Amino acid sequence: MTQDGPYPAIDRWVIPADALSETLRGVGQAGQRGVESGALWLGRRGLRSIVSAVVLPRGEGVIELPQRWHVSPEVYGVVSRWASPRSLVLLAMVHIHGDDDVAMSWSDRNRVVQVPGMLSIIIGNGGTDGDHNDWGWYLYDNGAYRPLSEAERLNRIEITTGSHAAVWVADDATVTEGVPE
C-alpha cells in the first residue's frame, strides 16, 4: 500500500449501511427482470476511504442484459464532471449476477476500471442476497483484481451506520439526486 500520486493508498473502506441497502434497492428491478445491473460508489479517497454517494447509471448509455452490465463512456464522463467539483472519486463498482456465482468473469476483470485500490463487488442471485458477507469482494492490486480474503475483508471493510450515503441517478446527460422510478 505505497501507491501515491492520483491513487493514494487505502487501508480501509468505510461504507455506510445505507449504501448497501440503496444499492440493493437500485438493482432490484433489474434483478427481477433477469438482467445485470449495478452501481458506482463514490467518496473521498485516503487511507480511510469513505463512500458517500451511490450512483445508479440508468437510461441512455446503460446496457442491462442477462450477462452484461455496461456503462458507456459518456455516462462516465457525466459522472466525472459531476463528481470533480464535489471532490468525489470512484471507489468501487458494484454489480449483480443472476445466479449465486459471485466469481469474477473475464469481462468482470477486464471490462471495468483498472486502477490501484479500486473495489469491484458482485452480488449474487439477482441482487437478492442481502448479506454482504455473501458477496464477492475484489480489489485491484498489483495489476489485477484479486479476491479479498474473509480476514482481509473483515479487517479492511467497515460497514457503518455512523455515516450516510446519498443516492444519485446518472444517465448520459445529467446526475440527479434520488432513487430511480
Long-range CB pairs of 103-112, under 8 A, 24+ apart, other chains included:
103/136, 104/136, 104/138, 104/145, 104/147, 105/67, 107/68, 108/145, 109/144, 109/145, 111/70
Give me the half-sphere count of Cα atoms (radius 13 Å) on the Cβ side of residue 66: 2
121 binds another protein (CB under 8 A): no
Q: Which one of 1, 47, 103, 113 is in contact with another protein (CB under 8 A)?
A: 113
Question: Judged by CB under 8 A, which stretch of 11-19, 85-93, 95-103, 129-137 contacts another protein?
Answer: 85-93
Between 79 and 102, name the residue whose CB sits nearer to another protein: 79
- Would you count residue 80 as binding another protein (CB under 8 A)? yes
Phi, psi angles (nearest 5°) of residue 64: -120, 110
Q: How far is the CB of 53 from another protein (least distance, A)?
A: 12
Among 51, 89, 148, 169, binds another protein (CB under 8 A): 89
Q: Which span (17-25, 30-38, 112-120, 126-134) binds another protein, by CB under 8 A?
A: 112-120
Label the pairing between strands 68-71 and 48-57: unpaired
- Pick from 32, 110, 149, 155: which binds another protein (CB under 8 A)? 110
8 Å CB contact between 33 and 179: no
- Of 86 and 133, the one with the shorter C-beta distance to another protein is 86
Candidate segments 30-38, 74-82, 122-130, 131-139, binder of another protein by CB under 8 A: 74-82
DSSP annotation of 117 reads T
Task: Tell the residue number behind the cell numbers 469482494, with chain if given.
Answer: 137
| Closest C-alpha to 3, from 142, 110, 114, 112 | 142
HSE (side-chain half, CA atoms, 13 Å) at 119: 31
Over the window 5 to 24, marking each residue x when it contacts another protein by CB under 8 A and - when it does not, the resulting string is xxxx----------------
Which residues of the shown chain bind another protein in the complex (CB under 8 A)? 5-8, 45-46, 73-74, 76-81, 83-84, 89-91, 106, 110-111, 113-116, 118
